[in-house]
Amino acid sequence: MDLQLTGKRALVTGSTSGLGEAIARRLAAEGASVVVHGRDEQRAVNVADAIRADGGSADIAVGDLATDAGAAIVAGAATARGPIDILVNNAGGYDPSGWAQAAPAAWARLYEVNVISGVRMIQHLVPGMRERGWGRVVQIGGGLAGQPTADQPHYTATLAARHNLAVSLARDLAGTGVTSNVVAPGAIMVDAVRDLLVRLAPTHGWGETPDEIERAATADWVPNDTGRFGRPDEIASAVAYLASPLASYISGATLRVDGGTVRSVQ
């Protein structure tokens, strides 16, 4: 399927590894010119070089989106070679602290990193999309936004805020040709998750081979209809679709890519 992204320019925040890198690579493979963002310049360069080696087009933007100044620097670098048509707000942090450990300051810091960072980029880049009459904004959220657990309450609250602001933005953009949506991943087998599962496998009795460990860990941690963890490319494919002209009738929606982890008809 041709997603008709040739000629579009996309900024993927937090794209020097993991889901963000997979999204940047997929958009580039579909013909978009991609801006790779991160706080480490060399890591951003490495991803951009890999995209170019595969025949894609990539630039970099380096900066900390948790500050006004850093976000302004990133927006300036991202638009230096042309306006941004597609904004993927992927950058964010994670803190496993529970209710007893997460002090109010930790809540405020995580909200700054996971929510306000994306708001900054929306406010920098969406006005241009509105003026041009075309654009895509995709928030990377998660199933915990609507199905929170007792653990990491501040993290799940930031996911809920990302979902909420995406719908509010969609209402604000009504009739402009710009859409706002959410992709909500389930448990995804990024490198850090794979390493964690291998370390925990002996104490949990999950087996020895990668397949055994994944099946057992899925059953214990994230039971779903597929019996496995997702892969970064599967999230990237969902983002690429929502970022494309083919998804012009989808706005204010949440696309769950979680193997059926969330048990809901909504």
The residues assigned a catalytic role are 155
Q: How many angstroms separate the CA atoms of 65 and 39, rounded?
A: 9
Phi, psi of 161 (to 5 degrees): -65, -40
Q: How many angstroms separate the CA atoms of 50 and 29, rounded?
A: 11
Phi, psi of 140 (to 5 degrees): -90, 110
Tokens representing 21?
A: 């890198």
Q: How many angstroms separate the CA atoms of 165 and 111, rounded?
A: 13
Q: How many angstroms separate the CA atoms of 48 and 131, rounded?
A: 29
CB 214 within 8 A of CB 229: yes
